[in-house]
Chain A
């Protein structure tokens, strides 16, 4: 991302963002509420207009016009009451055949393969609304990895999930990014866990205030003040 600036209702919500995401690297974006974290994700996904440039380059630094982006949304944005199974989600994403007319054996297999990557294959026939927060995130991660994307983007994937669930999820994410050489962008508030799993950290407050390794960023006075980090020294 080079010089990315975004405005909403006349207010600048992101300013001059210069950011490189590298393959095999987990970049965590942290910041207070309203700092522009979700806007950054929306710009990357092409959901929001912005000024500046977003380029996707392959290993030979050739520009790729339409990279595959795997996206894991916040699980609490999901409609829990809808009679939609995990398999339906995969079918609607992977197949042209309307999911209401049933799911073919090949799509079911593709769904099982995707879910296996995140250890969620047993959940394939479960109703989405009956999954716990951690289970749903593993399902959504499996979906985001089918097909294997060039970039994986996660927006607050673990909000409302307990500590052990978060540890498990980030451990899995860390393993997958090496396995598939993925560029991962993760938006989260979960500093303590991110400090152990992220390769790079970016502190955002409409613009990039500081970036570097988690240790560097978490010792930055502005970050410490924003997140009241008195115990980490």
Chain B
């Protein structure tokens, strides 16, 4: 079933009259972009609205420690240790915020400084750090059919969870007290979203890169915020911007021989700047 769907995809895209469409790695990368970018665009709306950009940045950077734990445990693929550590980090930040009386950015800054340093120290033992630098910029073109299937499953589960908790998150964004008076478990919704975000960011890291993943989360939503008058518009525009800039960035990176993740970010940045010009006057 999955093989035949993938075969159909390859046939359909390779029939396009473009040079890039003739390469299997580009067709897979395009499929990955079509799966990841709308998901990041959708999650980004809540990240931007809830001012969680620093948190998602911290989760991305914590991947260093996740990889390091994987290395220590002798895992062939560090993804599970990265996901596990990202979740531990998310819960730790939530705990520090609740307990410590620290402001969010200070709590996240502290935890991020610790995890990045710990990861780099472990990975750089014996001068071996260069092996892991591909995580910094990511490699969308190295994605395999198996990875694409995993991304599709992740996308489906994440989108479902996100939609289930969306209304609670929206109310919490507007006014936490109002959210608690109107819905049950408003605090749980925020924690579930933070965990979901941590998992999605971590899973997308090998393809997009630690250094730029956060921009892909934030830029489409920031652009959409300049265009939208209501929640459906915000959500819709963010997904459209993420999809279009994802595809444009991927194809541009093919012709310019540049890192895909960073090229997509530049495309998204260009759109964001355009929306600043067209910002809807309230």
Contact = CB atoms under 8 A, between A and B. Distances in A.
Interface of A: 9, 42, 45-47, 69-71, 73, 77-79, 81-85, 87-89, 91-93, 95-96, 98-103, 125, 127-130, 140, 153, 155
A71 B45 contact: no
Interface in B200-238: 224-225, 228-236
Contact of B282 (A70, A91, A125, A127): A127
A79 B49 contact: yes
B225 A99 contact: no
A38 to B, nearest CB: 9
Contact of A82 (B49, B101, B168): B49
B166 interface: yes
A69 B182 CA distance: 8
Which of A46, A95, A102, A155 has the most chain B CB atoms closer than 10 A to its own CB? Answer: A102
A99 B178 CA distance: 16
A99 B173 contact: no
Contact of B167 (A45, A92, A140): A92
Contact of B234 (A70, A83, A93): A83
A83 B229 contact: yes
Closest 3 CB pairs of A and B: A71-B181, A100-B235, A98-B166
A73 B170 contact: no
Contacts of B234: 83-84, 100
Contact of B231 (A77, A83, A96, A130): A83
User: What is the interface of chain A mostly: helix, strand, loop, or mixed?
Assistant: mixed
Nearest to B225: A83
B196 to A, nearest CB: 14
A69 B181 contact: yes
Contacts of A95: 167
B174 A128 contact: yes
B164 to A, nearest CB: 8
B180 interface: yes
A229 B232 CA distance: 50
Given A83-B229, A87-B230, A99-B232, A78 B163 contact: no
Given A79-B49, A91-B167, A129-B282, A100 B231 contact: yes
Given A99-B170, A101-B232, 18 more contacts: A46-B180, A71-B182, A73-B175, A82-B173, A84-B174, A85-B230, A85-B231, A88-B170, A88-B231, A92-B166, A92-B170, A93-B171, A99-B167, A100-B163, A100-B236, A103-B232, A125-B230, A153-B181
B257 interface: no
Nearest to A47: B180
Where chain B touches its partner, the secondary structure class is helix
B175 A102 contact: no
B230 A45 contact: no
B71 to A, nearest CB: 40
19 contacts: A46-B180, A71-B182, A73-B175, A78-B175, A79-B175, A83-B231, A83-B233, A84-B173, A84-B230, A84-B231, A85-B229, A89-B171, A92-B231, A95-B167, A100-B166, A100-B170, A100-B232, A100-B235, A103-B232
Interface string B5-43: 000000000000000000000000000000000000010
Interface of B: 42, 45, 49, 101, 163-164, 166-168, 170-171, 173-175, 177-178, 180-183, 224-225, 228-236, 282
A93 B230 contact: no
B106 to A, nearest CB: 18
B219 to A, nearest CB: 16
Given A45-B181, A98-B163, A130-B282, A89 B174 contact: yes
A165 to B, nearest CB: 20
Contacts of B230: 83-85, 87-88, 125, 127
Nearest to B177: A73
Nearest to A131: B282
B234 to A, nearest CB: 4
A77 B177 CA distance: 9
Contacts of B101: 9
Contacts of A91: 167, 231
Contact of B228 (A79, A83, A125, A153): A83
Nearest to B238: A100
Contacts of A89: 171, 174
B229 A127 contact: yes
Given A101-B163, A129-B282, A82 B174 contact: yes
Contacts of A100: 42, 45, 163, 166, 170, 231-232, 234-236
Contacts of B175: 73, 77-79
A128 B167 CA distance: 16
